[in-house]
Every structure is written in C-alpha cells, then in structure tokens.
Amino acid sequence: MKMTSTKRFAVRTALVTSTTLATVIGAQALASIDEAARAQPIPAPTIAPADPVLQPTTATGQPVSAAVPNVVILRHAGEVSAPAINVEPQAPARPSASVVSGSAAPILPPNPVQIAPPAPVVQQVAAQPAPVTRSSR
Amino acid sequence: MSVFITAFRAFGSQVNIWLDTATPAADGAPVLRQVPGWLADIEAALSRFRPDSELSRLNRRPREWADASETMLSSLDAALRAARITGGRVTPLVLRALVAAGYDRSFEEVARAGEAGDHATPVPASRWEAIQLDRAAGRVWLPDAIDLGGTAKGWAAQQIAQRLAAHGPALVDLGGDIVAQGKPWTVHVFDPFQPETPFAVVALHDRAIATSGTDYRRWGADRHHIIDPHTGAPARTDVVSATVIHPDAVLAEALAKAVVLQGSIAGLDWLAQHERAAGLVFDRIGRVLATENFQAYLTQTQTHTQKGA
C-alpha cells in the first residue's frame, strides 16, 4: 500500500496517541497500586514469647535472644556465669583446666588419671551428692 | 528409703551408680557390688584396646561372616540405629580414622605418655549400611574394622540401669553418660570453661543425658576423638561440649556427638527436629546455646555477671 502523506500523518498521530494513552493508563494503574498498599496494615511480627518457666537474662539485662528459631542463647560470649543457685561446688579431682575468656584460648587436657584405681566401695549415704555430666573422664 | 552409691573406673571412665532402695535392709549393697563384674563382661566383649576381646577378633577378619555374642549383636544393633538416626554422622566404621589420628591406645595411656601415636593420612569411613547383622544365626558381617566408642557407654549404662530397675530407682553414670530412672534425679551440667562449678542443674526422670566434647579427649594442637566420617579427620567444630537429653541413652550419646560434628547453631537446629531430644552447647567463644525445649529440664535460673565485675 502506498503511504500518502495523509496516511503517514494518521499513523504518526495514532502512535503518539496510543503511547500517550498507555502512559496515562500505566501511571494511573501504578497510582492505584500504591494507594492499595498504603491502605493495607503492616503484618505483626510472629516472634514467640520466651518460655515462662525460665527467663534467663544476659549480663546487660537483655532477654535471651534466639540464634535461629529453634535455638536460644543462654549466655553470650564474654559473659561469665555465676554457679547455679543453691548448689555446692564439686571438689575438683585434679587442677582445673585453663579458664577460657571470650577469645578462643586453648583448653588443656587435665593431668593423667590414676591407672590402677582402688577396689570399688559401696556406701550407704544419707545425703545425695549430685551426679555430673561432662565430656567423659 | 536408703541410697547406696558405688564408684569405680571402667571403660576408661569414672563410673558412679546411685541405687535408691525401699528399706535399709534391702539388697542395695550386694547388688551394687555386682556391677563392676557386669561392666567388665561388657568391656571384655566390646573394647578395641584388648587384643583378646570379641571386637578385636572380629576386627582382625572383616569381610567375612563371623559368630557374635548377644552382647556384640545388641550393642552393634544399637550402633547401627544411632548411625541411621544421625544420618551416618555417628558410625562404628571410624576405627581406622581414630588410629590414623593417633588414638591407637586407651586415652589413659595417651595422656600418660603425653602424646598420641603417629598420625597417618585421614581416610573417610566406609558406609555403615554395609554392616550386616544376622541375629537369628548369631553372626555379623563387617566391611571394615569397627569401634563402638560412639555408642558403647550409653548402651552399657542402659544395660546396667535395666538390671538395677528391679531393685529400685537408679542413676547410672558411666563417664558422664547418665541414665536416670525410677524417680526424679538432679544432674549437674558442667561448664568446660569453669570446670569447678556447675553451669546448670537439670531434673531427669526416666531420661538419659550425655555429653560429648573436644575439651578432654584431645591431644596435640587440634586432634581429638570425635571423627568426621566424611573426612576421616577429627571434626572441625566450634563446639567445645554438647549435652543431649533423650529417653534413650544410646541416642543421647550419639546425638551429642552429632551436634559436635555439625557445629553449635547447625547442630542444635538439627537436633531440634528430633522431637524427644533436647540439647545444650558450650562453644569456643564462651557462648551457651540450647534448644528451646532444654529449658524445661532446668531446675534453677542461672545468674550472669559481666566479665570483670
């Protein structure tokens, strides 16, 4: 089809008009989306409260924090725990290992244990000293 | 009620047993005097450090069917159960790796000598699924030499506790792998950084608790007894010690090791997927982390003070 000047003018006009209309319509759509977003309430956080049975706090008095959803931090690096309440400290069987500060100081193994222990003794006790769990000795 | 206690060494560890009998005249003392013999029988079968043990005999001839005692079948069955539940992280097929790392004799001898054996190139462990048990015929097939150190103490503690159950509530402590049955017992969880005093006190009733760590059975700069089966080398981990509570003593011990292998956060997060397990970890920078459900076992609130205050 041969493009006359009239037809070329019509095409150009249509293109400009359609582009303008698209721009206007697009802008209106975006504006309506923004309006809808501003109208929606911000969802509340879903962090579960700490277990009411135990509410440990850190040295700064902050509540125990979560490392990941299933894991809680009972003591942060750099804090030093006092002994658990109302517990008599166990008498050491050997000199203590080096105390580790907040940095990763080496932990020295204890002195060698006795190789030939005395024969087992069975005692009847009135008080019950508490058993201990730690890496096997 | 009367409580009887006995203490001795077995399995290269300190053993303490409490038995709570109904009356002073009950048979607490005679029963407890038998326990060292029970453990000696188990150790005679399962110790890799005794050349005449059943385990050593099996290890000398792998890849062929061999007769096995009920003790061996039962403990090996428990080890395979632990391997399955830990996804192969705790496997009996780490003996070659332990020896390569220098743990070629009892740790008491390693500590006395001040050094371990020669170090060899680490070798990844064979697949644990290749171990075969024929309980009906009483025989086993091992693809390679095995070590039951990852589950043997928990299994042995459970065996002793089951035998004592007829006599009253009992607590069996086999090197820190503990079975508490028949009544509530309190157990101290020690801080490896402050070994003189307990960090936490837990209450256990028909539960087991076990602690695994890199703070004691270690030698050299970075060698310890917890082997990563994928590399065959001592695990590289930020965990100093991991404590797990579980109704099953074998799984408490195995899960504690699995947590060590995976690291503090990933290990505890993984452990939290096991419904009946609760765990607590001391990591290398002094943090203490726990699964949320561990707090239910704590009997007393810990106090914290600022360092230097």
Burial class (CB in 10 A: 0-12, 13-18, 19+), B17: buried
Q: Which residues of B touch A100 (CB under 8 A)?
A: 192-193, 284, 286
In this structure, are residues B56 and B48 in contact, taking their beta carbons and an 8 Å threshold? yes
* CA B170/CA B172 separation, integer angstroms: 6
Residue type (1 letter), A45? P
Across the interface, whether the CB atoms of B304 and A100 are under 8 A apart is answered no
Instruction: List, in sequence order, every residue forming a beta bridge with B242; answer none if it has no partner.
Output: B212, B281
The number of C-alpha atoms within 13 Å of A45 and in the hemisphere containing its C-beta is: 3
How high is the pLDDT of residue A109? Answer: 38
The answer to whether residue B284 neighbours chain A at the CB level (below 8 Å) is yes
C-beta atoms of A90 and B28 within 8 A: no
Does residue B220 belong to the interface with chain A, where contact is any CB pair within 8 Å? Answer: no
Residue ranges, chain A, pLDDT below 70: 1-3, 7, 9-67, 80-121, 125-129, 135-137
- On whether any CB of chain A is under 8 Å from the CB of B210, the answer is yes
Q: Which helix (H) or strand (E) holds B196?
A: strand B194-204
Any bridge partners for residue B228, and if so which? B233
pLDDT at A18: 55
Is B308 exposed, middle or buried (CB count within 10 Å of its CB: 0-12, 13-18, 19+)? exposed
Which of A58, A11, A98 lies closest to B194 in space, CA to CA? Answer: A98
What pLDDT is recorded for position A52?
31
Of B33, B211, B305, the CB nearest to A134: B211
By CA distance, what is A122's nearest residue in B?
Answer: B6
With contacts defined as CB-CB under 8 Å, which chain A residues touch B10? none
pLDDT value of residue A19? 54
**Contact indicator for B142, B94 with CB cutoff of 8 Å:** no
- Chain A residue nearest residue B210, CA to CA: A133
Between CA A66 and CA A51 the distance in angstroms is 12
Q: Nearest-CA residue of chain B relative to A86?
A: B300
| Distance of alpha carbon A27 from alpha carbon A15, whole angstroms | 18
Q: B296 φ, ψ to 5°? A: -65, -20
Is residue B241 within 8 Å of A135, Cβ to Cβ? yes
Residue B300: its pLDDT value, please? 63
Range 131-170 of B in CB contact (< 8 A) with A: 153
Measured between beta carbons, the chain A residues lying within 8 angstroms of B290 are: 71-72, 74
Residues of B with CB below 8 A from A67's CB? Answer: 265, 268, 289
pLDDT for the residue A30: 45
Contacts of A86 in chain B (CB under 8 A): 300
Model confidence pLDDT, tens digit, residues B102-123? 766 666 666 666 555 556 677 7
The answer to whether B173 contacts A56, with C-beta atoms less than 8 Å apart, is: no
Give the minimum alpha-carbon distance from B15 to chain A in angstroms, rounded to a whole number.
Answer: 9
B5 touches chain A (CB under 8 A): yes
Q: Which of B36, B196, B212 lies nearest to residue A89, judging by beta carbons?
A: B196
pLDDT at A56: 41
Task: Inspect the interface and report whether the beta carbons of B198 and A89 lie closer than 8 Å.
Answer: yes
Of B5, B241, B295, the CB nearest to A53: B295
For residue B139, give how far its alpha carbon lies from the nearest alpha carbon of chain A (Å): 31
Cβ separation of A113 and B173 shorter than 8 Å? no
Which residues of chain B register pLDDT less than 50?
Answer: 301, 303-309
Return the pLDDT at B94. Answer: 87
Contact between A96 and B195 using a beta-carbon 8 Å cutoff: yes
* Tokens of residue B92, six digits: 């009996």
CA distance B85 to chain A (A): 19
pLDDT value, residue A78: 82
Interchain pair A136, B177: CB under 8 A: yes
Say whether B305 and A81 touch across the interface (CB within 8 A): yes
Exposed (0-12), middle (13-18) or buried (19+): which is B289, by Cβ within 10 Å? buried
Tell me whether residues B304 and A81 touch, CB distance under 8 A: yes
- Asked if B178 has any chain A CB less than 8 Å from its own CB, the reply is yes
Closest-approach residue (CA) in chain A for B154 = A136
Give me the DSSP letters along B208-240: EEEEEESSSSEETTTEES-EETTTTEE---SEE
